[in-house]
Amino acid sequence: MDRNTVTGLLLIFVITIAWAWSTMPSQEELERREAERIAAQDSIAAIQAQQQPGIEDADTVGTEPTEREVEISEQEETTQTPARALGTFAAASISDTLTTVVRTPLYEIELSNVGAGPVKYTLLEHRTWDQFNVQMLTDTLRSAYSLGFLSHQNYNIETNELVFEPLHETGIFELADDESINIGYRLALDDDSEIRFTYTFHSGQYAYSIDVELVNMESYISGTNVDFGWTSALNLTERDFVQDAQNSSANVFLGGSMEKLQIGEEGTGEQRFNGTIDWVMTKTRFFGQYIKPVTHSNAAILSGEVDGDPSLPGTIHRYQVAVQSSFAQNPTLTYELYAGPLRYYDLRDFHENAYDVIEIGYALIRWFADPLVRYLVIPFFAFGSLFINNYGVLIILFGVIIKLILFPLTQKSFKSMAAMKELQPQMKEIQEKYKDDPQKQQKETIALYKRAKVNPLGGCLPMLLQFPILITLFFFFQNSMLIRQQSFLWASDLSAPDYILDLPFTIPFLGDQIAGFVLLMSAAMFLQTKVSGGMSGGAAPSGGPNMKAFTYIIPFILLFVFNNFASGLSLYYLVYNVLSVAQQAIINKQMSNKKPELEVEEKGKKRPSKKAKKKK
């Protein structure tokens, strides 16, 4: 192996380690996680139990409230008076709560006349890690949606602080297949001026809509712009609360590109984007809500707050989004809304770029990652799930397909490594013969490569070309809704780590548990390194680093990197590495049966190869 080859391999190793280090959970996070998990679970479960819908489904059993709970409830209702001056709108701020429930096969939404919007939104087909139905809203005292504007008296008005009049019979509405319903609210300021909200819900989709009518409100609103936005934080749903929270963000799509607001440390932040807005949204790891203006829009406001240490499970990550629109030309503003799982086909039906919020690779390779995920990965799992209902089996089949697709690249790479391994005796001779003359050693080594028709970078370049695919799948399996709460063998959730070993101590960067598929993946990678002869086999050139030792260290490093990632990701790489071991073993056997015959010129004459000598 010449110096250029060693340098190239060293650069690849450094890039790999840097990437692994940047994605590795912090030591502080891993040390705190287990210590706080037991204490946090009880309190979190209790909070989530209190946040379950007031309308009981078949899986829950209600209990009568205690006297203390009734007293607290009465105090909350009597204290919902305005905390600030509202001028003309103050008369509409005295709480008189009436709720309406709309239940579809997919979700159950509870709307309140306080703010004329949802106070609870429960997904009936998705559960939290502790098996409660997912309740998306954190704030339950007033509407998650609010219309904001500056009044003619210079008061900042938010409609989720005002009490609307329901324009429908309050109660429970159940929608069967293909049914829809309109739910309306009205806030009258005089005989001619009013604000009217009209929601339209459909039974078979997570998308719904709202019409905001501003009837003769020009004399009550200063200017012509109003903001319609989402004010509630989203509940966390996964066992690893820290990872779920750190995947929270606010996003906006405008001008053909997406922008993201994410607060990485304790504090607040806000960004304003001017222009025609396609949509705004807030999300956690697997769930989100969108607002898509149908009528005119001219700006979006994204804000976020992290209330505490981001590495602690109890820290609240609150993101809010709003769309600014002008009602000067059209007093009726229409918004299409979505609240539910971040699944590709649901989001594609809502907006063609709504799925862009899912991390599937670095921005540099997004041009490649998007088509790969949308037109190969997701369709494969969607089609395969029609025949195989186990996503672990589908991941194994998918690993086989990807291996076949990459076969030309891996075949060339493995053949190059096998050829380099066969050349090691000649390379050692050259190193020993010219150990005191590095330039001559390098020259003779290059000549050896040319005679054997071997490219020393032939094993590296094909591997680099595979990186975009491997990185895309790394992010996809980490963030995909497809494998959430799907079980396989001992893994109860392929989107979470599959811990099988509990350690009596904590290892920095690793934690105090070891995941099963990660352990097997690292073992398979070590075996592949062994079969390939440590990348190229043999000793390194004089004065160069021992690359063979580096390649044996990589599987051990990846054990630390992948231990706390999704088990579905580790399962995929396990399958890929096992197939790579088999492929390399077959190539090694073929190469050993047909060793390259080298013709070495000496004083203008050709010296017969070893095989030729044996024939004599």
| More confident call, 180 vs 461 | 180
End-to-end Cα spacing for the chain? 32
* 555-573 per-position pLDDT tens digit: 888 888 888 889 998 999 8
- Taking the C-alpha atoms of residue 570 and residue 130, their distance in angstroms, rounded to an integer, is 23
Relative orientation angle of helices 567-593 and 516-531, to the nearest 10 degrees: 20
Tokens (6 digits) for 116 = 């004329």
- Taking the C-alpha atoms of residue 462 and residue 235, their distance in angstroms, rounded to an integer, is 44
Over residues 594-615, mean pLDDT? 47
pLDDT at 616 over 60: no
395 Cβ neighbours under 8 A, 6+ residues apart: 477, 483, 488, 494, 568, 571, 572, 575
- Taking the C-alpha atoms of residue 565 and residue 512, their distance in angstroms, rounded to an integer, is 14
Work out the percent of the chain whose per-residue pLDDT is above 90: 39
| Residue 50, pLDDT score | 45
- Taking the C-alpha atoms of residue 349 and residue 482, their distance in angstroms, rounded to an integer, is 17
| Residue 271, pLDDT score | 94
pLDDT at 396 over 80: yes
pTM, entire model: 0.74
- Taking the C-alpha atoms of residue 349 and residue 341, their distance in angstroms, rounded to an integer, is 13
Of 55-69, 242-256, 376-390, the range with the lowest mean pLDDT is: 55-69
DSSP SS3 for 114: strand
As a whole number of angstroms, the longest Cα–Cα distance in the chain is 114
Q: How far is Cα of residue 97 from the mean position of the Cα atoms in its chain?
A: 38
* 534-557 per-position pLDDT tens digit: 544 433 443 344 556 666 788 888
- Taking the C-alpha atoms of residue 292 and residue 282, their distance in angstroms, rounded to an integer, is 12
pLDDT at 251 over 70: yes
DSSP 478: H
Of 144-153, 336-345, 397-406, the range with the lowest mean pLDDT is: 397-406
Per-residue CA distances from 501 to 101, 459, 497, 514, 563 (Å): 46, 36, 12, 5, 11
| Residue 426, pLDDT score | 76
| Residue 418, pLDDT score | 66
Closest among 429, 452, 448 to 591, alpha carbons compared? 452
Tokens (6 digits) for 245 = 């929270």
Of 276-285, 366-375, 380-389, 461-470, the range with the lowest mean pLDDT is: 461-470
Closest among 456, 452, 435 to 536, alpha carbons compared? 456
Relative orientation angle of helices 407-422 and 391-405, to the nearest 10 degrees: 60
DSSP 357: G
Contact 126, 134 (CB under 8 A): yes
CA Rg value for the chain? 31
Q: How far is Cα of residue 309 from the mean position of the Cα atoms in its chain?
A: 21
pLDDT averaged over the chain?
79
CATH of domain 82-236+287-300+324-357: 2.70.98
pLDDT at 5 over 60: no
pLDDT at 325 over 80: yes
Element (H, E) at 522: helix 516-531
pLDDT level of residue 116 (50, 70, 90 thresholds): very high
Contact 488, 390 (CB under 8 A): yes
Query: Pairing between strand 287-293 and 277-283?
Result: antiparallel
pLDDT at 352 over 90: yes
- Taking the C-alpha atoms of residue 240 and residue 566, their distance in angstroms, rounded to an integer, is 11
| Residue 127, pLDDT score | 94
DSSP SS3 for 406: coil
Contact 287, 134 (CB under 8 A): yes
| More confident call, 455 vs 130 | 130
| More confident call, 515 vs 590 | 515
pLDDT level of residue 454 (50, 70, 90 thresholds): low
Work out the percent of the chain whose per-residue pLDDT is above 70: 72
| Residue 294, pLDDT score | 95
pLDDT at 110 over 50: yes
pLDDT level of residue 48 (50, 70, 90 thresholds): very low
Over residues 511-539, mean pLDDT? 75
DSSP SS3 for 96: coil
- Taking the C-alpha atoms of residue 185 and residue 373, their distance in angstroms, rounded to an integer, is 42
| Residue 448, pLDDT score | 73
pLDDT at 29 over 80: no
* 270-301 per-position pLDDT tens digit: 999 999 999 999 999 999 999 999 998 999 99
| Residue 556, pLDDT score | 82
DSSP 583-596: HHHHHHHHHHHSPP
pLDDT at 463 over 90: no
| Residue 7, pLDDT score | 54
Q: How many CB atoms lie within 10 A of CB 18?
A: 10
Instruction: Read off the amino acid at residue 389.
Output: N
Q: Which residues of 315-354 are buried (b: 16+ CB within 10 A; e: fewer)?
A: bebbbbbbbbbbbeeeeebbbbbbbbbbbbebbeebbebb
Counting Cβ atoms within 10 Å, is residue 536 exposed (0-12), middle (13-18) or buried (19+)?
buried
- Taking the C-alpha atoms of residue 532 and residue 524, their distance in angstroms, rounded to an integer, is 12
pLDDT level of residue 345 (50, 70, 90 thresholds): very high
DSSP 195-246: EEEEEEEETT-SEEEEEEEEET-TTTBSSSEEEEEE-SPBPP-SS-HHHHHH
DSSP SS3 for 404: helix
* 184-230 per-position pLDDT tens digit: 999 998 888 999 999 999 998 999 999 999 999 998 999 889 999 99
- Taking the C-alpha atoms of residue 243 and residue 358, their distance in angstroms, rounded to an integer, is 15
Can you tell me which residue has the tokens 């015959």? 597
pLDDT level of residue 79 (50, 70, 90 thresholds): very low
pLDDT at 517 over 50: yes
Counting Cβ atoms within 10 Å, is residue 70 exposed (0-12), middle (13-18) or buried (19+)?
exposed
DSSP SS3 for 82: coil
Element (H, E) at 333: strand 332-341
**Residue range(s) occupied by CATH 2.70.98 in the chain:** 82-236+287-300+324-357
